[in-house]
């Protein structure tokens, strides 16, 4: 696979894409670039007002991009079900980009009782993907793109403490959620292949990029301008997801990320490193089964 740049994004006219967490930061840039290439993009976000502002910014600009919004609170499975039901009414869905995330907040919980990072970053996307998989299989088959992180390398899944009742530390719980993202994407690929599904599951990570994800970090607002210079801007951080979504050479099971400075930055994207735990199929299967149990939603593959 050759290095991928913004100039390599192919025409997307006629395609419909859902991008979660796309009212700001990396998600906004993913959505904007896809819309610029002709896709109809749906911003799936928790905050309806911010999503509307982002959509209006794209639609009212000189390019007059085709953008809509969808209310989606990934911490609330009832909201995930409602959003999926609305999305099912679309004529087609060609791309689902699971981008939304929360990073190292104070301890809080989702409606199901699990710790918030695990719930939003993994469980909500797991459930949303399951509910839309049939739709993605129509029209020749689409792609599911799941955003992980280089933080997955230090992650593990503590099945006995997913609700943080036995203790909470921000960073390990974030790494756990990002490992869960990658385990999910790779297990979904294996199951899709076994079922001869036309849908492809591809994972990616943005490197280290300045985005709203850092809002819970101490000094995050101060360091963002520095990060834009030293590491990646939000736009640069969007490139691996754009490659996963559009590169004809990308395949199910790929994991894509920046090509520079230990995968932390770069103007090109390509295959990235998967940790040993991310490649553990038994761990992925156990996580899958636990995720179905916690969400009450089962996959068709």
Contacts 24+ apart (CB under 8 A), 211-218: 211/24, 211/25, 211/26, 211/237, 212/24, 212/25, 213/25, 213/26, 213/101, 213/102, 213/103, 214/103, 216/102, 216/103, 216/104, 216/105, 216/106, 216/170, 217/103, 217/104
Pairing assessment for the beta strands 16-20 and 40-45 based on DSSP bridges? parallel
The C-alpha atoms of residue 230 and residue 248 are separated, in whole angstroms, by 31
* 273 is a catalytic site residue: no
pLDDT on residue 222: 44
- Backbone angles phi and psi of 24, in degrees to 5: -155, 170
Residue-wise over 73-94: b if at least 16 C-beta within 10 A, else e? Answer: bbbbbebbbebbeebeebeebb
Task: Give CA–CA dist 51/176, Å, rounded.
Answer: 28
Predicted confidence at residue 70, as pLDDT, reads 98
Query: Are the beta carbons of 41 and 34 closer than 8 angstroms?
Result: yes
- Please state, in angstroms and rounded to a whole number, the distance separating the CA atoms of residues 144 and 148: 13
Per residue in 2-48, pLDDT tens?
Answer: 899 999 999 999 999 999 999 999 999 999 999 999 999 999 999 99
Q: Which of 168, 174, 255, 273 is catalytic?
A: 174
**What pLDDT shows up at residue 159?**
98
pLDDT at position 111 is 87
Domains in the chain (CATH in brackets) are: 6-293 (3.40.50.720)
Distances (CA, A) of 242 to 36, 223, 239, 269, 295: 12, 26, 5, 9, 28
Q: pLDDT tens for residues 278-289?
A: 999 999 999 999
Q: Output phi, psi for 232, to 5 deg.
A: -110, 145
Distance of alpha carbon 18 from alpha carbon 41, whole angstroms: 6
pLDDT in tens, the chain (301 residues): 789 999 999 999 999 999 999 999 999 999 999 999 999 999 999 999 999 999 999 999 788 899 999 999 999 999 999 999 999 999 999 999 999 999 999 999 998 899 999 999 999 999 999 999 999 999 889 999 999 999 999 999 999 999 999 999 999 999 999 999 999 999 999 999 999 999 999 999 999 987 555 454 454 454 445 444 457 899 999 999 999 999 999 999 999 999 877 788 888 999 999 999 999 999 999 999 999 999 999 999 9
Q: Where are the beta strands (DSSP E) in the chain?
A: 16-20, 40-45, 67-71, 95-98, 143-147, 200-204, 255-260, 265-271
Q: What is the pLDDT of residue 217?
A: 47
Instruction: Return the DSSP state at 109.
Output: B
Give this prediction's pTM.
0.93
pLDDT value for 205: 97
Distance CA 234, CA 22 (A): 11
**Dist. CA 291–CA 180, nearest whole Å:** 10
């Amino acid at each position: 696979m050759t290095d991928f740049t913004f100039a390599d994004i192919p025409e997307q006219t006629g395609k419909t894409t859902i991008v979660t967490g796309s009212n700001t930061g990396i998600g906004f840039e993913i959505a904007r670039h896809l819309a610029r290439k002709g896709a109809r993009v749906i911003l799936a976000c928790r905050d309806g007002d911010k999503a509307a502002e982002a959509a209006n910014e794209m639609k009212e600009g000189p390019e007059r991009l085709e953008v809509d919004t969808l209310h989606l609170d990934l911490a609330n499975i009832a909201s995930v079900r409602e959003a999926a039901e609305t999305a099912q009414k679309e004529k087609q869905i060609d791309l689902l980009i699971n981008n939304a995330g929360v990073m190292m907040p104070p301890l809080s919980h989702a409606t199901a009782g699990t710790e918030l990072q695990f719930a939003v970053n993994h469980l909500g996307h797991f459930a949303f993907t399951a509910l839309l998989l049939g739709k993605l299989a129509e029209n020749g088959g689409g792609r599911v793109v799941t955003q992980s992180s280089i933080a997955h390398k230090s992650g593990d899944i503590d099945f006995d403490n997913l609700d943080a009742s036995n203790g909470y530390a921000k960073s390990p719980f974030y790494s756990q959620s990002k490992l869960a993202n990658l385990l999910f994407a790779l297990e979904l690929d294996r199951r899709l292949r076994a079922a001869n599904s036309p849908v492809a599951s591809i994972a990616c990570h943005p490197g280290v990029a300045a985005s709203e994800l850092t809002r819970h970090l101490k000094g995050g607002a101060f360091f963002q301008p520095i990060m834009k210079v030293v590491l990646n801007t939000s736009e640069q951080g969007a490139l691996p997801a754009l490659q996963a979504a559009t590169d004809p050479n990308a395949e199910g099971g790929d994991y894509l990320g920046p090509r520079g400075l230990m995968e932390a930055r770069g103007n090109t994207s390509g295959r990235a490193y998967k940790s040993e735990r991310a490649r553990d199929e038994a761990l992925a299967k156990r996580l899958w089964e636990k995720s179905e149990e916690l969400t009450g939603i089962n996959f068709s593959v």
